[in-house]
Amino acid sequence: MPLRFKNCIEKGLLRKIPASEDNTIRSINKAKHWLREAETTLQSEAYDSSVMSSYLVMFHSARAILFFDGYREKSHVCVARYLEEQYVNKKKLEKKWVELLDHHREIRHENQYDLSFFSTDEDTANALEVAKQFFERMKLLIGTLKKTKK
C-alpha cells in the first residue's frame, strides 16, 4: 500500500519541528548547489550523476517548504505527500509538481539500485530542465508564503 500523508505522520516519517526560515534558505541553497552539479555532470556526459543531482534539486527545494512550515521528513516519498496534502489539495500548488517530484524520485531510485538502468543524454537533459522549473516554482511558493505570513 502506497504511503499517504496520514501514514507519514503516524509512522513518524513527517515530524513537526519549529518552523525555520534559516533552514528554508539553507535547503534552497543546497538545491542551487545540486543544480550546478547537475549542469556540470551533464556537460561532462556523466548522465547518471546528472539525473541524481537533478532529483536532489527537486528534493531540497521541496524540503525547503517543509522547513518553512515546521516539518522534517524521514522519507522522500513523504515530502511529496506533504506538498500534496498541504498545497495541492488547498489549491496553492499545481498537482503536476508533485507528480513530477514522484516521477523523478522513482527514476532516482532506479538509477541508484537497478543494475540495468542507465540514463540517456535526452533523459538527462529533460531531468535537468524539469529540476530547474521545479526549483523556480518552489521559490515562487516560498515567496508567496512569506508574503502571507507577514
Domain boundaries, the chain: 5-145
pLDDT beyond 70 at 68: yes
pLDDT score of 149: 80
Predicted TM-score of the model (pTM): 0.95
Contact 87, 65 (CB under 8 A): yes
- Please report, in angstroms and rounded to a whole number, the separation of the first and last CA atoms in the chain: 40
Nearest alpha-carbon partner for 138 in 69, 62, 86, 85: 62
Pick the CATH number of 5-145 from 1.50.10.20, 2.60.320.10, 3.40.50.300, 1.20.120.330: 1.20.120.330
pLDDT at 2: 80
Task: Name 4's Cβ contacts closer than 8 Å, sequence gap at least 6.
Answer: 81
Return the SS3 of 70. Answer: coil
Query: For residue 142, is pLDDT > 70?
Result: yes
C-alpha cell at 58: 527537486
For the chain, what is the largest distance between any 2 Cα atoms, rounded to a whole number of angstroms? 50
